[in-house]
Structure 1
Amino acid sequence: MLELDLSADIQALRTTFDNIREVVDVDALRADVERLEQEAADPGLWGDQENAQKVTSALSHAKAQIKKVEGVGSRLDDLEVMVDLANEMEDEDAAEEARAELAALGTAVSDLEVQTLLDGEYDERAAVMTIRSGAGGDDATDFAEMLMRMYLRWAERHGYPVKVMDMSYAEGAGIKSATFEITAPYAYGVLSVEAGTHRLARISPFGSADKRQTSFAAVEVIPVMEEAKEVDIPENDIRVDVFRSSGPGGQSVNTTDSAVRLTHLPTGLVVSMQNEKSQIQNRAAAMRVLQTRLLLLQKEQEAAKKKELAGTITASWGDQMRSYFLYGQQLVKDLRTGHEVGNPATVFDGDLDGFINAGIRWRKRPSDD
């Protein structure tokens, strides 16, 4: 006689799910949707493209969040019915289906729980990512381009708009650097755990000796902040260089000097922009990113000073946080969380949620307090 009892497991999921619903506040989300729909219906909204994109993105995110939470709640109700039917019909196939749904719901609830951990000061903002090649020659620049494609594919999987702001191509393979903006609520909170040094180990496709090559790339993630305008940058502190945008192989894609490079002389920070049509637009975009980086630098310096006074300095900048092995065992492993995947191809194709969720949990671990 079949006696399938999943009541304890289902109740544990319900308890966690109820806590998540309270934090997410679906009623508040519905109110947001109503307000945003009214804004989106305003015929004058698209007169400001940037604001229109923010409104539509926030509306899409709120609707998706409501659908996700309500969907999990409905599935929990359905699971209890599945268990009752399996027992009533003494159907082992139905029982197996119920067990599989329990496991799937465990993952869904866990993913929702991770989202409740995004409570940092800037977590809800869009993100600007910069990838720079490091040591390793052609392998490093190729690796930098692989990482860029990985994050763009991740954004595509989630339906997040991406705007490439700057690209510097290498003379050989790949890119020296790339900067792009991912516009989605909580993009910064989610992607900030990706910041750090990434390492690639593989048999180099650029060498003739079939030797293993190790190369590095750095990933920087900053929030898009309106508050950046609070940073006052004197004109005398900035050097402005203009040049022509270029594509792979140095082929000119612009016939005017529309690209802009800003150098903040006191700190040495450099920001380049070339994706806009005019020099004025590129300068404005570059200034916004420079202001953001300066504001973050100020906050980092303040935090570092506080740690110094407290005697708790942690020198962690530049430490590699993830390794990608494309030879032998074929593995991608995060060195902070221990999360690993044995299929690098899927990771490079944008399947990053497992690493990101593990990173968010790692960041909130009790030892950080």
Structure 2
Amino acid sequence: MSDEFDAALKDLTGKLTQIESVMDLDALRAQVADLEKQASSPNLWDDPEAAQKVTSQLSHRQSELRRVGELRQRLDDLGVLYELAGDEGDAGSMGEAESELAELGKAIDGLEVRTLLSGEYDDRNAVVTIRSEAGGVDAADFAEMLLRMYMRWAERHGYPTNVYDISYAEEAGIKSATFTVTAPYVYGTLSVEQGTHRLVRISPFDNQGRRQTSFAHVEVLPEVEEVDHVDIAEKDIRVDVYRSSGPGGQSVNTTDSAVRITHLPTGIVVSCQNEKSQLQNKAAALKVLQARLMLRKKEEERAEMDALKDGGSSWGNQMRSYVLHPYQMVKDLRTDFEVGNPSAVLDGEIDGFLDAGIRWRKQSAAV
């Protein structure tokens, strides 16, 4: 085995061993055993919501164990493959081993990022809201492009999504959209997307073909759970009902089932129109409102701490540029991670940005 290959293999083996330690595989196996016991209960589906949570957690933890086990097996097999290739002078097998080494490096790096998600809410589902900002119709169109990007990303990973509300712009695109992504640790993963996104391109809506800069804001919240105890007094909210609408303002519902809730003390407004009934829409809107109030409280506490430290973090502001003209590039302004293929990024290939953002945030917190 060459010294270079041997050193790379030892490095990956050490990294995986450290990941296994952080993940605490014994505790993970114990969790799987407990969840399997709960899942086998004949009364499991008496409470469908609780049952869904148990089966989802079981599936995720089984997947984590399987993922680590498969990587460990591949590392063990790789050393044997390279030695045999060297002994037999098999150039084809040697090339296969070197290719596998590179693939394992990527897979283990990806697993390492998962171990960095240790925040209070990181393991939860995510509630994402996209809003068009400065840039007129181009901004509305950009907001819709971002909505599609996140939906495609979730689809690639097999994560279920549920659109709560879309407010369509008059000419093209959307004013705003709120949706959930359901998967363990998806809030921690997507939370680094929060901030202002900027698009630079030749506007398809400008008759003179001029370059246009437009902006959209992405908000990412953890889904609230029963343990959060976010109390909202009835006197503090105003509930308005209206008819759901689609693109161009067309009515998509013959009844006033859409719900808009205004939290009077803070001015926060949330709405939901995509559930089947007014009651369901109100419940969904209240969950989003609770999530925003919960994060608002945390941000206020963090701001107080930052003031005591004489400074705070601004990573949640402008964070990424998508440039389609005069050159092609998507660049994260915090991490400097960039990709020269905007089409792929806008089609949901954002894992590189997510990994870089999670590592950057962890490093920033340690400073």
Q: What's the TM-score once normalised by structure 2's chain length?
A: 0.95
Please give the alpha-carbon distance, in whole angstroms, between the structure 2 residues aligned to 1:51 and 1:147: 32
Stretches of structure 1 that go unaligned for 5 or more consecutive residues are none
Matched residue, 1:28: 27
State the alpha-carbon separation in 1 of the partners of residues 5 and 316 from structure 2: 47
1:331 is matched with which residue?
A: 329
In structure 2, distance between residues paired with 1:55 and 1:129: 23
Q: Shift in Å at residue 218 of structure 1? A: 0.3
358, 361, 364: which one pairs with 1:360? 358
Q: Which amino acid aligns with 1:324?
A: Y
2:51 matched to which residue of 1? 52
- String of CA shifts for 1:268-292, please: whole Å, max 9, x gaps: 1011011112211211221122122
The whole-number CA distance in structure 2 between the counterparts of 1:3 and 1:258 is: 68
The reply on whether 1:320 has 2:318 as its aligned counterpart is yes
Q: What do you get for the CA RMSD once the two structures are aligned?
A: 1.8
CA contact (8 A) 2:199 2:215 kept: yes
Residues 166-199 of structure 1, C-alpha deviations (whole Å, 9 max, x = no match)? 1111111111100001111101110000110001
C-alpha offsets along residues 21-55 of structure 1, whole Å, 9 cap, x if unaligned? 11112333233233323333444433433323322
Shift of residue 334, structure 1, vs aligned partner? 0.7
Q: Within 5 A, what are the aligned runs for 1:50-129? A: 50-129=49-128
* Distance in 2, Cα, partners of 1:133 & 1:355: 21
Read off the aligned partner of 1:348 and give its amino acid letter. Answer: L
CA distance, structure 2, for counterparts of residue 288 and residue 141 of structure 1:
25
Matched residues in 2 for 1:367 and 1:231: separation?
A: 27
Check conservation: 2:315, 2:334, Cα contact below 8 A: no
User: How much identity, in percent, do the aligned residues show?
Assistant: 61
Over 6 Å off, 4+ runs: none
Q: 151-160 vs 242-251, which deviates more?
A: 242-251
Q: Given the alignment of the two structures, is residue 214 of structure 1 paired with residue 217 of structure 2, yes or no?
A: no
Does the Cα contact within 8 Å between 1:4 and 1:83 map onto a contact in 2? Answer: no
> Residue 268 of structure 1 aligns to which amino acid in structure 2?
G
Task: Give the direction of change, closer, same or farther, for the CA distance of 1:199–1:90 in structure 2 (3 Å limit).
Answer: same
**What is aligned with 2:172?**
173
Partner in structure 1 of residue 224 of structure 2? 225
Greater Cα offset, 54-63 or 351-360 = 54-63
Q: Which runs of 5+ in 2 are unaligned?
A: none
- AA in 1 matched with 2:215: F
Using the alignment, how far apart are the partners of 2:308 and 2:3 within structure 1? 59
Summarize the Cα distance change of 1:280–1:228 in structure 2 as closer, same or farther, 3 Å threshold.
farther
Partner of 1:293: 292
CA distance in 1, matches of 2:304, 2:359: 27
Q: In structure 2, what residue type is equivalent to 1:153?
A: R
Following the alignment from structure 1 to structure 2, what is the Cα–Cα distance between the partners of residues 170 and 198? 18
- Mapped to 2, the partners of 1:109 and 1:23 lie a distance apart of 13
Question: What's the CA shift string for 1:227-268, capped at 9, x where partnerless?
Answer: 575222222211111101111222222111111111111111
C-alpha change, 1:171 and 1:44, in structure 2 (3 Å) is: farther
Aligned residues: 367
Alignment of 1:278-289 (within 5 A): 278-289=277-288
**What CA deviation, in whole Å up to 9, does each residue of 1:110-165 have, x standing for no partner?**
11111110000110111100000111111111111111111111111111111111
Aligned to 2:143: 144
